[in-house]
Chain A
């Protein structure tokens, strides 16, 4: 075979070199949109990732305070407090303002945490995941599950999903194999999407708008 023949043969077969299939547009776009959303969250000045630990502690304290106040202070309109067993978890028991604020805080914090965690899993930075943050949020989530806010069936399902996810991260979140399974699990259940829809303007905004 001459050089010319070899060149011709090569040219004919070059199209087969690493021939791409159909472009997987949607999965790639979903990944890009998720990452960009995570970056936007991470860039929020008040809710920067460095403040996660402080916010976690604050969220836990706020939930405890909100639930505690609700239990000890009688309502102005005479509605029985959560200490009244018959109505403690009834559908008509509306959560107090303190509890609503605490809920927004926890959900907002969970959104930031899970978004950051997923990015850490994607980029193999699991050493940056702090299980203590997951445990703190888990505690806050369980307090909410025991409170009036869990009387909303949709919110209850979300809180239960969140509880499961946070428990998994607290226990096995730094193991790469488990981390992928955990991430797939909360993505399939749409936990982040639901969190985002529940967190309307974020806890920082709620505080600055004078809720408390």
Chain B
């Protein structure tokens, strides 16, 4: 069934069409949510919220971009909001843990480079990270990223360049020591 027909049926209140639309897009939405969240529960919440919002707002979908891009935009918006909340929560937890660990003896082992890479990506500024994950991890084009994040293609390219530069800086010190 054509996407436009499917959307019409969803708007007419057909539950089977809702499920068909969900089935058609859920893998990609969940994948993007998971790449951003790094946590199965949070990725599920993001995916669910994204579809609930999408169904609620589907009547406003004008077809200027593809439905996939439109869904990605909602997913990224939900994901970034969720991650901001999680970040605030984790920051509070970290503050508490650090308070408890004052004066604790011992030295923590250095993580390996893969873990360092994951952490470095996690620590990228929000905009850089979104572009980096979409482009370098998930393989979206700059045009698709621009449509999803509501930025210009040039901005997407510039943010990717800066994200890569930051990662290189963060990993350079460890690369020689930890990679054989």
Q: Give chain A's interface residues, CB within 8 Å of chain B.
A: 1, 3, 5-7, 9-11, 13-21, 23-25, 27-29, 31-32, 35-36, 39
Contacts and interface: CB of A to CB of B under 8 A. Distances in A.
Contacts of A23: 26-27, 30-31
B171 A10 contact: yes
A29 B19 contact: yes
5 contacts: A6-B168, A6-B171, A13-B114, A13-B117, A20-B31
B86 interface: no
Nearest to B120: A10
Nearest to B178: A1
B7 interface: no
Contact of A1 (B22, B23, B40, B179): B179
Contacts of A35: 48, 52
Given A28-B44, A32-B22, A20 B175 contact: no
A34 B167 CA distance: 42
Given A21-B40, A35-B48, A14 B137 contact: yes
Contact of A25 (B26, B34, B38, B175): B26
A32 B56 CA distance: 11
B51 A32 contact: yes
A81 B172 CA distance: 88
A18 B48 contact: no
A1 B176 contact: yes
Nearest to B176: A1
B65 interface: no
B44 A6 contact: no
Given A10-B117, A14-B137, A25-B23, A32 B52 contact: yes
Interface residues of B, number: 38
A17 B27 contact: no
Contact of A14 (B23, B56, B136, B168): B136
Interface SS of B by simple majority: helix
A36 B137 contact: no
Interface of B: 18-19, 22-23, 26-27, 30-31, 34-38, 40, 43-44, 47-48, 51-52, 55-56, 113-114, 117-118, 121, 133, 136-137, 164, 167-168, 171-172, 175-176, 179
B85 to A, nearest CB: 11
Contacts of A16: 114
A36 B176 CA distance: 53
Contacts of A7: 164, 168
Contact of B35 (A17, A21, A24, A28): A17
A3 B168 contact: yes
Given A17-B137, A20-B35, A36-B52, A28 B168 contact: no
A182 B122 CA distance: 36
A3 B176 CA distance: 11
Given A13-B114, A28-B44, A32-B22, 19 more contacts: A3-B172, A6-B175, A9-B113, A10-B167, A14-B117, A14-B137, A16-B114, A17-B118, A18-B37, A21-B40, A23-B30, A28-B30, A28-B47, A28-B48, A29-B22, A29-B26, A31-B44, A32-B51, A39-B56
Contacts of A9: 113, 175, 179
A10 B118 CA distance: 10
A173 to B, nearest CB: 22
Given A6-B168, A29-B19, A20 B30 contact: yes
Contacts of A20: 30-31, 34-35, 43
A15 B114 CA distance: 11
